[in-house]
Amino acid sequence: DIQMTQSPSSLSASVGDRVTITCRASQGIRNDLGWYQQKPGKAPKRLIYAAVTLQSGVPSRFSGSGSGTEFTLTISSLQPEDFATYYCLQHNTYPPTFGPGTTVDIK
Amino acid sequence: QVVLRQWGAGLLKPSETLSLTCAVYGESFSGYYWTWIRQPPGKGLEWIGEINHSGSTNYNPSLKSRVTISVDTSKNQFSLKLRSVSAADAAVYYCARKVAVRPFDYWGQGTLVTVSS
């Protein structure tokens, strides 16, 4: 299986901060990567697919970059509703695998 | 608007079979893979497997010996069976839709499955 790692595992930030989360794959996955946001008790919500494409309806403060083995999710100006856990997902190779998650909480 | 609605037994005893069903509303059933994903309490997400409208399946090797995913296209529904459950199978189980290069855009509401004797 392709192993996905994320850093940091958690971070504390303030409203208005720029936040960057990194996801690394154990082998190259081209751009077959998505980013998901999950709030407590809710299903994950897709933010980004194909590494850089913003899901329709997702605010433009979210952006994705990267290809191959290293990817980033950036929130340009953190808003109160962005406090959540973020997961990356690779779907290049079966089985699809998720990163362990990054929890963003309020400083 | 695509809606996935899921249901099934939430409390099982060890060695029993987990059985969940997911119904798809507002979208054609064909052209997609329909997926099951689980999340143990406080932990990350694990892909279980998927099925398309013609019944072609892919399973996670870690669960393959115990999992069956089936489809009922007449009802726009797909189902998960996981045999011989143990405490390690306790999780919130989600159904989700996969488009080939844009997986998991729509999700069910989740079903909490507890395993206890």
Query: Does B104 sit within 8 Å of A36, measured CB to CB?
Result: yes
- The predicted structure's pLDDT at residue A101: 98
Query: Does B58 sit within 8 Å of A91, measured CB to CB?
Result: no
Q: How confident is the model at residue B20 (pLDDT cuts 50, 70, 90)?
A: very high
| Residue B48: strand, helix, or coil | strand
Per-residue pLDDT of A43-99, as tens digits, reads 999 999 999 999 999 999 999 999 999 999 999 999 999 999 999 999 999 999 999
Query: Does B109 sit within 8 Å of A43, measured CB to CB?
Result: yes
Per-residue pLDDT of A2-35, as tens digits, reads 999 999 999 999 999 999 999 999 999 999 999 9
Pair B8, B92: CB distance under 8 Å: no
Q: Is A99 on the interface with B (CB under 8 A)?
A: yes
End-to-end CA distance of chain B: 40
**Alpha-carbon gap, residue A27 to B101, rounded angstroms:** 18
Cα separations in angstroms, A5 against A27, A32, A50, B39: 11, 15, 18, 17
Q: Which positions in chain B touch A49 (Cβ < 8 Å)?
A: 101-103, 105
